[in-house]
Structure 1
Amino acid sequence: MPRWLGGLLLVVLALGLGGCGGEPSQAGDEPAAEAATPIAAVELQPRDLSRELMVSARVEPRAWVRLAARTDGVVEAVHVEEGDRVEQGETLVELDVAEERAELARAEAHVEEARLEYARSAELRDEGIASRASYERARAALRSAESERSLWQARVDYGTLAASRDGVITERMVEPGEAVAARDTLLELVDTTTLVLRPGVSELDVRDLVVGQDVPIQLDAFPDADYVAKIRRIFPAASPDSQQVTVEIALPAEAADNGVRPGNLGRIRMTVDERPDVLAVPAAAIGEDGDQRYVYVVVDEQLERRTVETGVTRGPWTEITDGLEEGEIVLATNPIDMREGQRVRIVGWRG
């Protein structure tokens, strides 16, 4: 190898060794800063975690009366038809009671006769002519005659069927000339002033309902009208077959005036287990460590672990009863891969 080439190699080697033995650079003295982890977060605000129960039922009249004949007889006149509105005490059906009227007239004659005999006996007793026994017999005969008259008056009255309350005739089951027996149903009458729905509710949900509670209802026949009804009563026992408790819900008075009728289908929303204005976080944001539950709160772009107490879970949200305050920023995703003090940056918001 030529001498001049060997010298060149020595110079190159010396320069390389000098570079390796120099002082370290400033960048090598400081560790690289930790990169902030991108996260999704949620700001704690009051939420309504009340649970809504959706059921449906048909509209019914609160009172449905079957009007029956009170005596045997032949129908003489029927004064109403289906759809007629009637008032309490109005005569609806009349039976032929000609025989009973004749007996009533005879009974009234007997009363008049007995009254005259009683008056004559009282006058004679006052004069000391008639005995007390004859006076008592005359008084008893008058009472007997009056009782007989009352009996026949009642039988005549039984020939008339009157409305027991205000309402609408929904069914007519008899025509003039028909023979009917006592207790045969002749008409059906419904009270449309108070319309109700009677849905069945699970025995687990009915415990959260109270009489007087407002209940929003929408009727399929009136999609543009929303009614606020009230729970009128809650039946005392569950059905042994369905294990559901009947809840009677009364529609407002204007429903009938607006054309709502028995048979219309209603959709009912009832609030059970009311929990308005509670703090909640996404259920996925809650971690478990033994018996404890925790979340991560974002403080100065770092995670701070916070032990919390939880309540109910509604959908994706879980109630926080202790450990957090309104306005705090919480990690909204699974915290299992996170740690205390970890630097983060918020790139998305939930809720």
Structure 2
Amino acid sequence: MQYATRLSSPLTLVLLPVVVLLAACSRDADDSDTTQAAERRTPIAVYEVSPRDLSRQVRLSASVRPRFQIAINSRLHGSLVEVLAEEGDRVEQGQLLARFDVQEESVELQRAESSKEEARLEYQRLEQLLESRNISDAELQRARAAYEVARAEQQLWQTRVDFGSVRAPQNAVVTARHIEPGEVAESQQPLFELGVMEELVLLPGISERDVRHLRVGQVVPVQLDALPERTFNGRIRRIFPMADATTRMVTIEIALPEDSFAQGVRPGYLGRIPMVIDARPDTIAVPAAAVGEGDDGHYIYVVEEERLVRREVTVGITRGQWTEIEQGLSADELVLASNPIDMAEGTAVRIVGYRG
């Protein structure tokens, strides 16, 4: 018995390390398989597709001004005896604004009226004589011509006297007054400026690349620095037909509501217009970096059952970091959010982050 024990002891000593080694190798193989399986799943960041607003906005600015601005100039050379309106006055059509000294013109008018009456009487007398054949037709025609000349002279001086009264051509507000009583005004010298406050407008310029997205009648918001608590609904009244040759900007006219002046808007206020250009409110889009380009067109990788699936897509515009997908993708799908150039169809992945 002792001999058998002595024989088995060396064998045990030989087999024990082998068993331990095999067990260790088995554990190492299991750990290696687990590690390799984990390494085969590439970590990626994804984007969950949802509709985005890719509308482009531009901010324009311009000063408020009356659509109709009327400059009233002097039609006479003379001194002003009265100035009856000043800045801020609301005037009615035909209202007297100023009056010139027209004494000399009035005297000339009286003389012209007398000459006209004298010529009229002479013409009537010769008409009666013509019936009795005591004068010739030529004498009557000369008398008639003299009467017409006298009447034209009277009308000329009447017009000059009328020019001495400066009147408002329509309902408006006086925005500037350039003369004072007693001053001598030259012919065509500016006297007043009027503005029609019921039609206030802004005239901003917009890039030639953007104007094609606008239309007459389009409603746009107008914000005024002087009235920050309100936003007015402006309307594009007209789009000018030509771009400026230097700036390549096209002027547009934006009309404010008719009651804007009553609401506190004044000419000269600075208006800001945040306009939506090329509206795209609900657009399927992905990060621009997620779109690859191959020989057959554009593509992206969609994550399905933890694997990458290549999807051919039709792309639209790119705005900032987002690219529009017109065809090939729907909302709520998961797409690879990074550059797809180093990825391949069927690659096993694990999601480690979300973008967007």
| TM-score computed with the length of structure 1 as normaliser | 0.86
1:7 maps to 8
Contact 1:200 1:247 (8 Å CA) reproduced: yes
* Distance in 1 between residues matched to 2:330 and 2:214, nearest whole Å: 30
Q: Structure 1 residues 112, 272: CA separation in 2 closer, same or farther (over 3 Å shift)?
A: same
Q: Does 1:257 align with 2:262?
A: yes
Deviation at residue 219 of structure 1 after TM alignment: 0.8
The counterpart of 2:59, out of the listed 54, 57, 68, is: 54
Deviation at residue 349 of structure 1 after TM alignment: 4.8
* Amino acid corresponding to residue 131 of structure 2 in structure 1: D
Higher mean Cα deviation, 95-104 or 232-241?
A: 232-241
* Amino acid corresponding to residue 266 of structure 1 in structure 2: G
| Structure 2: gaps of 5 or more residues | none
Deviation at residue 18 of structure 1 after TM alignment: 8.3
2:159 maps to 154
* Distance in 1 between residues matched to 2:90 and 2:125, nearest whole Å: 53
Deviation at residue 34 of structure 1 after TM alignment: 4.8
Deviation at residue 312 of structure 1 after TM alignment: 1.4
5 Å-filtered alignment, 1:23-34, equals 34=37
Q: Structure 1 residues 223, 21: CA separation in 2 closer, same or farther (over 3 Å shift)?
A: closer
2:186 maps to 181
The counterpart of 1:93, out of the listed 82, 89, 98, is: 98
* Distance in 2 between residues matched to 1:187 and 1:42, nearest whole Å: 65
Contact 1:219 1:267 (8 Å CA) reproduced: yes
* Distance in 1 between residues matched to 2:87 and 2:338, nearest whole Å: 65
Deviation at residue 221 of structure 1 after TM alignment: 1.0
Higher mean Cα deviation, 115-124 or 170-179?
A: 115-124
* Distance in 2 between residues matched to 1:49 and 1:19, nearest whole Å: 66
Sequence identity (%): 50
* Distance in 2 between residues matched to 1:311 and 1:134, nearest whole Å: 90
Deviation at residue 70 of structure 1 after TM alignment: 0.5
2:83 maps to 78
The counterpart of 1:218, out of the listed 199, 215, 223, is: 223
Higher mean Cα deviation, 97-106 or 164-173?
A: 164-173
Q: Could you report, residue by residue, the CA deviation over 1:68-98 in whole angstroms, capped at 9, with x for unpaired residues?
A: 1001011011110111111232221110111
* Amino acid corresponding to residue 110 of structure 2 in structure 1: A
Q: Structure 1 residues 165, 336: CA separation in 2 closer, same or farther (over 3 Å shift)?
A: same
The counterpart of 1:111, out of the listed 104, 109, 116, is: 116
| TM-score computed with the length of structure 2 as normaliser | 0.85
Q: Could you report, residue by residue, the CA deviation over 1:149-198 in whole angstroms, capped at 9, with x for unpaired residues?
A: 11111111111222233322122221111111101111222222222222
* Distance in 2 between residues matched to 1:17 and 1:309, nearest whole Å: 63
* Amino acid corresponding to residue 11 of structure 2 in structure 1: L
More helix by share: 2
1:307 maps to 312
Q: Structure 1 residues 97, 21: CA separation in 2 closer, same or farther (over 3 Å shift)?
A: closer
